[in-house]
Amino acid sequence: DQQVKQNSPSLSVQEGRISILNCDYTNSMFDYFLWYKKYPAEGPTFLISISSIKDKNEDGRFTVFLNKSAKHLSLHIVPSQPGDSAVYFCAASARGGTSYGKLTFGQGTILTVHP
């Protein structure tokens, strides 16, 4: 039962254009969503997050949009740079209760930004 899904295994974008990475979830208890970035042979690093009380959060070139009714979120990178090439993981958390904030991850999307 894949509770967090990233249906696009890979995405290729030209430098300077917009990258849009998508993520869907099924568990309505999730109330906090994060994007992590991972380079080869390194651990995932936190990129940006959004609480379920918001529908948008922006940090520099990165913006995350949340559509709760559709159980969908997306990460926009504008403008894309070659250094953004990495695997991007969407993750979700149901804070509180006995979940201890553990994260449920999607399968990841490999982003390649061409110069």
Partner 1 sequence: GAGVSQSPRYKVAKRGQDVALRCDPISGHVSLFWYQQALGQGPEFLTYFQNEAQLDKSGLPSDRFFAERPEGSVSTLKIQRTQQEDSAVYLCASSLAPMNTGELFFGEGSRLTVL
Selected binder of partner 1 within 19, 80, 84, 108 (CB under 8 A): 108
Element at 70 (helix H, strand E): none
β-pairing, 109-114 vs 10-14, is: parallel
Q: What is the closest distance, in whole angstroms, from the C-beta atom of residue 19 to partner 1 in the complex? A: 19
Q: What is the closest distance, in whole angstroms, from the C-beta atom of residue 114 to partner 1 in the complex? A: 22
Q: What is the closest distance, in whole angstroms, from the C-beta atom of residue 79 to partner 1 in the complex? A: 25
Where are any strands of DSSP class E within the chain? 4-5, 10-14, 19-25, 32-38, 45-51, 56-59, 62-67, 72-77, 86-93, 103-105, 109-114
Is there binding between residue 30 and partner 1 (CB under 8 A)?
A: no
CA 88, CA 47: separation in Å to the nearest integer? 9
Q: Is the peptide bond before 79 cis (omega within 30 degrees of 0)?
A: yes
Q: Which stretch binds partner 1 (CB under 8 A): 55-63, 67-75, 76-84, 100-108?
A: 100-108
Selected binder of partner 1 within 11, 32, 68, 71 (CB under 8 A): 32
Is there binding between residue 98 and partner 1 (CB under 8 A)?
A: yes
Is there binding between residue 1 and partner 1 (CB under 8 A)?
A: no
